Every structure is written in structure tokens, then in C-alpha cells.
Structure 1
Amino acid sequence: METNDRRTTARRTTVLVTVLMVVAVALVVSLVSRPSQEEAKRPAPAASATSTGEASPSGSPAAESGPLTSAARRAPDDPLAIGRTDAPVTMVVYSDYRCPFCAKFGRDTEPKLVERYVDKGTLRIEWRDFPIFGEQSINAAKAARAAGAQGKYKEFAAALFGAAPDRGHPDLTPAVLRKFAEQAGVPDLDRFAKDMAGGAFDEAIEKDMLEGNALGVPSTPAFLINGQPLLGAQPMEEFTAMIDKAAAGG
């Protein structure tokens, strides 16, 4: 039975790696075909009524008007999300745990956004796995979800990002990930290790990867603030400007 489980997990990991390769190819194509800076400055066409839904009062979730608003899930039991499900602004974050810029956002900007907006009910943040830096990135995504299954997702991500180098990609072996789980206060480390090594989260990670690829996410970190894209570990001012505008119904 154990041998069969290992074979099943191995097959699922192979599928995830294959999807990762497809995403990587798509990213290369996206970067090659990315519009010039002059084209990027042109205003985007207004989203159609079919993509934004019916008009609603400013500040309500249905008031989201960006072209990619459908990415927000607002699932009440989502362990990879914080903030009220009816918050007027949602920010979907596509990230990789081995991405130094994702770590920079997690360390420098995210805590300020939580204090300024999430804690006050204005913003909901939903994280998506977009592992583009190899199999260790996939394993780290599985580890984070394993921590989340025990109510320690944010603590685990904070521990991991807090130790990340400013440049390059950290070596996230299963042993290292287990240490981060211990640091994050995950109560059952044996269960964590078993969940991390198993295939229970493969489908959810693959769903996030395919979603990001379908939306044209070119790199990590990438953000959708009420459907409006923002790329890279931008300064705090960039986030506050977009969030304030979205909260005001803009």
C-alpha cells in the first residue's frame, strides 16, 4: 500500500513539474511579446458589462471593475486568505516561495497593508501558488498548504520569507521546510511532513498555476487589486494608491 502511495505521489509530482514547464514556456512567450513601454502607458480599454457584472454601490464587492476581477474567489474557508470576504477591495497575489521579490513584499509591504487595510475591513488578500523556480518551489507550496491545514499558513510564510536572501533562490529541502514549520508553531510536525510529501495539495496548486498562466501572469510577484494588475515588489505608495482608489469605487 505504501509503495502504491509513493507511486501515486510521484506521478502527481511529475504532472506538477510538467505544468510548471508549460508555465515557464508561456512566461518566456509573454516576456518576448510584452508591449513596449510606450504601448504599456496607453490606457486599457474599459471592461465590458459582462466581465464586471451589474452596477453596484461603491465599496461593495460587486463594484470591482478591473478586467480580471473573476480571479478573486472570496471563499470563507480559504486558508490562503485573510480579510473579510465582503471587503470592498480584494488583492490576489501570485507568488513563489523561492522568489526574492516575493519575500521582499512579504517582509516589507504586506504587514503594513494588513495593518492599514485588512485589519480595518477594507482589504482581503488571497494568495495563489505560482511556483516557477523548479521542483523545490512546488514542494514549498505544498509545505505552506500543509502548514495552512493546521492553521499556520501565514506564520509559515512569514518565517520562510523572513529568512529568504535578498538575491537568488533559497535551498528549500524538506528538512529546511520542516524547520520553518517548527518555527511557525505548526503543532503536529509529523502530520506536516506527511502532508507535504503527499499529493493532497497537488490539484489546488495546479489550479493556481493554470489560473495565473491563463491570466497572463508574467512573473512573480504579481497582484490583482480589484482586477487591476500590478507587477513586482512595488513601493508601498503604489499599493496604497491603487487600494485607496478601488475602495473609493474608482
Structure 2
Amino acid sequence: MKSSKQSARFLTARRRLNRRLAVAAVAVVAFLGVVLAGHLTNGRRQVAAPTASPSASAGAGGARAGEFTFVRRAQADPMAVGAVDAPVVLVQWTDMRCPYCAVFNRETLPMLLKEYVDTGKLRIEVHDVAYFGEQSEQAAVAARAAAEQGKFFEFIRAVYKDAPEHKHPDLPRAKLIAYAQKAGVPDIAKFTTDLDDPGLRAAADASNSEAAQLGVTSVPFFVAGDRTLSGAQPSSVFRSYLDDAIAKAG
């Protein structure tokens, strides 16, 4: 029979273990709650800002003072559109197989380009993610291969134009090459070779990892100034969101 001291030590250890398990269970439930919320709302929610530090310095070719460090503001950035010195940068995370990313690209992006980008108020910078399997990963590489030839936005426009409304499109290699042709990528042979470029794959993987580290859990996901927006929101929501960011930027 165990002594009273041994029993006390056993009970103390057991209580500590139970506390650790309870904390772990709460963490798992909280994590699943965030993931499920993203799926149940189809990404249509406004959430807290990603956990990244604002830049402490200003200047061309990088985030300005007060902007998050993932803001690039780089000249000749093939995955960005708009003036490098625009008052506000809208950062977008997108997956080539995301149906709601396609809705945003088809229905809202043209308005943003006309009313905000073309008037010098806004710059849009795209970060790719791959949440829906190997085809998402390969499509991210394909978009970067198109970007190598100055056709990034034309390529994603071609992909999203054909995307089904409520399911993930099938994007095998042959389709990616066909979309490159539709997008007017000039050197299809180079594009095809670049689909296997380890450097482009590494860059896409790094972008995906960064999104996870920042806490981006659903797409499309946006940051403008110090506020975030998630989902293919109506144009009126984007106008209010961007007007507020521009006003704060002065």
C-alpha cells in the first residue's frame, strides 16, 4: 500500500497533468473554432489584424513608417498594381483555387482599379497562399511564372474568370499552360519550364508559410492600413473600408 506522502505526491502530479490537458483542450477547441468560423462564414468576416510588427522606417522599396512589414512598396513588383507611393496599400492574400477569391477578382477588383488605383489613391499587392492541396501549390508557382513575364494579373484574371462559384476549380498542369496562353504570356516554353523552377516553388512556399505565421486563416484576406477585411465583400463594404484607410493616411 502506498504511503500517505506517496499518495499526496501522486494526486498533486495528477492534478497538474489534468490542468495541462485542460489547457491543451481549450487551445485545440479555440483553434478549431477559428477554422470552422472561417469555413461556415465562407471567409466573410472582419477579423483582427495579423500579428506582424509595423515598420519603423520609411522610404522607397519598403514599408513606410507605421505600415506592416509585409507591405512591399517595391518598384517593378510584378505582383502589384498602382503607384508605389500611393497613400494606402491594400495587401491581398489569395489562392488560385479559392471560389471567393474568384468572386472578388471578377466583381470587385475592376471597381477598385477604376476608382482607387487609377486615381492614385491605392496600390494593391498580392500574396499567394495554397490552402487547397497540391494544385493550389502548383497554381501559385504558375502565377509567379506568369509574373516573370509581366503577366501576373492577366494570368490570375484568366484563372478566376472560369472558376465555379461554390467549389474549387480543377487546375492540372495542362490547364495552367492553357491559361498562360489566354493571358498572353509571350514565351510559353519558358513558362512551362518555370513550372518546375525550384526558386519559384520556394518563393511560393515561403509566402504560404508567412501567411500561416501571420495568422491568415481564410481567403481572400485583406489588410489596408491597420484594419483587415476577410471575404468577397460587396463593393460598398470595400469603399467604406478603403475610404477610412485613405482618410487615416492623410
Fold agreement, TM-score > 0.5: yes
SS in 2 for 1:105: helix
In structure 2, the residue matched to 1:176 is: 175
Retained in 2: the 8 A contact 1:61–1:88? Answer: no
TM-score, reference length from structure 2? 0.75
Cα deviations by residue, 1:136-169 (Å, 9 ceiling, x for unpaired): 0011011111111111111111111001011111
Retained in 2: the 8 A contact 1:147–1:181? Answer: yes
SS in 1 for 2:195: helix
SS in 2 for 1:239: helix
Deviation at 1:70, TM superposition (A): 2.2
In structure 2, the residue matched to 1:32 is: 33
Deviation at 1:227, TM superposition (A): 3.2
| Amino acid aligned to 1:187 | P
Aligned residues between the structures? 209
Distance (whole Å) between structure 2 residues aligned to residue 29 and residue 206 of structure 1: 26
Retained in 1: the 8 A contact 2:90–2:224? Answer: yes
Retained in 1: the 8 A contact 2:48–2:228? Answer: no
Q: Percent of aligned pairs with the same residue?
A: 43
Retained in 1: the 8 A contact 2:55–2:64? Answer: no
| Amino acid aligned to 1:124 | R
In structure 2, the residue matched to 1:248 is: 247
Distance (whole Å) between structure 1 residues aligned to residue 75 and residue 191 of structure 2: 23
Deviation at 1:81, TM superposition (A): 0.6
| Amino acid aligned to 1:161 | Y
Cα deviations by residue, 1:144-202 (Å, 9 ceiling, x for unpaired): 11111111111111111001011111110111011111011111111100001221212
Superposition RMSD in Å: 3.0
List runs of 5+ in structure 2 lacking aligned partners.
1-27, 38-44
Retained in 1: the 8 A contact 2:35–2:217? Answer: no
Cα deviations by residue, 1:67-99 (Å, 9 ceiling, x for unpaired): xx2221111132111111111111111110000
| Amino acid aligned to 2:225 | N
Structure of higher RCO (CA pairs closer than 8 Å, 6+ residues apart): 1
- Classify 1:236/1:61 alpha carbon distance in 2 versus 1 (closer, same or farther; 3 Å): farther
SS in 1 for 2:168: coil
Cα deviations by residue, 1:30-62 (Å, 9 ceiling, x for unpaired): 4425799xxxx9x979x9xx846489xxxx954
- Classify 1:151/1:52 alpha carbon distance in 2 versus 1 (closer, same or farther; 3 Å): closer
Between Structure 1 and Structure 2, whose CA radius of gyration is higher? 2
In structure 1, the residue matched to 2:78 is: 79
Retained in 2: the 8 A contact 1:63–1:249? Answer: no
In structure 2, the residue matched to 1:202 is: 201
SS in 2 for 1:131: coil
Distance (whole Å) between structure 2 residues aligned to residue 214 and residue 124 of structure 1: 24
- 1:223 is the counterpart of 2:217: no
In structure 2, the residue matched to 1:105 is: 104
In structure 1, the residue matched to 2:95 is: 96
List runs of 5+ in structure 1 lacking aligned partners.
1-26
- 1:149 is the counterpart of 2:148: yes
- Classify 1:52/1:204 alpha carbon distance in 2 versus 1 (closer, same or farther; 3 Å): closer
